[in-house]
Structure 1
């Protein structure tokens, strides 16, 4: 018989995976892995500001991640630096600011390891509600914007010509990323969020012939990674968050075994640009 805290952890992992899978497909297609890292690193600044302002951490992380996204868009329009340089500046600046701010708060005990690598076994019933409610919101918006996002991923120029407003879709996508990072922070931690976005989606690409199938497959593979990682953590007494990522890595390595027909040769999936 499994303990209640472990059952909650399994449900939390599945709920997160069902959200990060489809969203991670766009991260892979759009080559936005570094952007995901930047958003994740900004979470520490959000945590520090949440403690200073005495507000909910999910709200603080979401607000900071959203501000970082908007800052990136504004700086890109100025055209003075390349996108990767801007992401590097924002990523390391927000991480450093967060660490400095935490160092000043000597009156607060902060478990940095818990924030960096997550503590899914500490998920409460309230957290579960937030995970599934936030996940449902993200998936609902993603489904509504699926066609414009997909068109903008394939060709922003064609999407613009057809009146799909790719810039607006991109902004909404960034805000969805901010929301997912706020939700995922407690589960897998700041340093492992990007892995849960990228690895299941990269694995799913080998088995799916269409974007929709890839999104569903990524969600299922992420859920399998969460369950497998948690049971592995229980069996071998290893950290739960990293164990989930290791399980996802194991599935990815298995997907590299050659087989007769792969989705990569199908030609219907968006090419990474």
Structure 2
């Protein structure tokens, strides 16, 4: 019989994986990996902000990441800075500022848990946040799937067809920011982008349609959660990084299988 903490860890990890995988497809298609890292680094500032206002850390992370998403959308649209420069400035400055503020306020924070996750310590409240946020994000992705996909393929053509590509880009940024906030306690701010990108890259190897890739990415992420938690309990390794290693193992196996299939067909 599974312990309560392990059941909560499994449920929390599955909730994140099922939404991070499909969203990671758009991150991959739009080459937004650095944006995901920026939001993840900003989550540390969100923790400090939440503590300073006596709010739950999750609330502070959501607020700060949403503000950062809006600022980045404005900065990249104005073209005052290059996109890479704007992301680099925001990513590293928000991480450094968050760490400095936490130190100045004298707050005792589990820094390792913040950076690499502490999925085995999820509470029922954390699960409510994760599954509520995941349901909201999956609902929005389903509702906006076709216009988001059209704007991802060709923004100019999408605008010509009356699709608000700029607004959809902002919506996508907000969705990524929310996933970062939700996933912070599962895999930590340094690894959340990996949980979006690796399952998406794995599914891309065999998916025939964008929809199949999104569904496959969610399933690969769920499998990685199971493998990671099993490995963590079996070998006493950190759970968050173990989940990402599980995703990497699936990616390598799929890549090897695809390579072997090509060799077999060529022979």
- Mark yes or no: TM-score above 0.5: yes
Q: Provide the C-alpha distance between the structure 2 equivalents of 1:239 and 1:199, rounded to a whole number of angstroms.
A: 19
Does residue 108 of structure 2 align to residue 96 of structure 1? Answer: no
Q: Which residue in 2 is equivalent to 1:188? A: 187
Q: Which residue in 2 is equivalent to 1:120? A: 119
Q: Provide the C-alpha distance between the structure 2 equivalents of 1:5 and 1:42, rounded to a whole number of angstroms.
A: 28
Q: Which residue in 2 is equivalent to 1:146? A: 145
Gaps (5+ residues) in structure 1? 262-273
Q: Provide the C-alpha distance between the structure 2 equivalents of 1:34 and 1:76, rounded to a whole number of angstroms.
A: 13
Q: Which residue in 1 is equivalent to 2:78? A: 78
| Equivalent runs, 1:11-22 vs 2, <5 Å | 11-22=11-22
TM-score, length basis structure 2: 0.95
Pairwise CA distance, 1:259: 4.6
Per-residue CA distance 1:109-141 (angstroms, 9 max, x = gap): 111111011100011122112111110000000
8 Å contact kept, 2:69–2:173: yes
Query: Is the deviation greater in 141-150 or in 69-78?
Result: 69-78
Q: Equivalent residue of 2:158, what SS?
A: helix
Q: Which residue in 2 is equivalent to 1:223? A: 222
Does residue 3 of structure 2 align to residue 24 of structure 1? Answer: no
Q: Which residue in 1 is equivalent to 2:47? A: 47
| Equivalent runs, 1:209-248 vs 2, <5 Å | 209-248=208-247
Per-residue CA distance 1:136-181 (angstroms, 9 max, x = gap): 0000001111011100110000100111101111111111111111
Gaps (5+ residues) in structure 2? 263-267
Q: Which residue in 1 is equivalent to 2:36? A: 36
Q: Which residue in 2 is equivalent to 1:137? A: 136
Bigger fraction of residues in helix:
2
8 Å contact kept, 2:21–2:196: yes
After superposition, the CA RMSD in angstroms is 1.0
Pairwise CA distance, 1:77: 2.6
8 Å contact kept, 2:36–2:177: no
CA pair 235-210 structure 1, distance change in 2 beyond 3 A: same
Q: Which residue in 2 is equivalent to 1:264? A: none
Q: Which residue in 2 is equivalent to 1:57? A: 57
Q: Provide the C-alpha distance between the structure 2 equivalents of 1:147 and 1:4, rounded to a whole number of angstroms.
A: 40
Pairwise CA distance, 1:76: 1.7
TM-score, length basis structure 1: 0.93
Q: Provide the C-alpha distance between the structure 2 equivalents of 1:174 and 1:56, rounded to a whole number of angstroms.
A: 23
Q: Equivalent residue of 1:163, what SS?
A: coil
Q: Provide the C-alpha distance between the structure 2 equivalents of 1:73 and 1:22, rounded to a whole number of angstroms.
A: 21
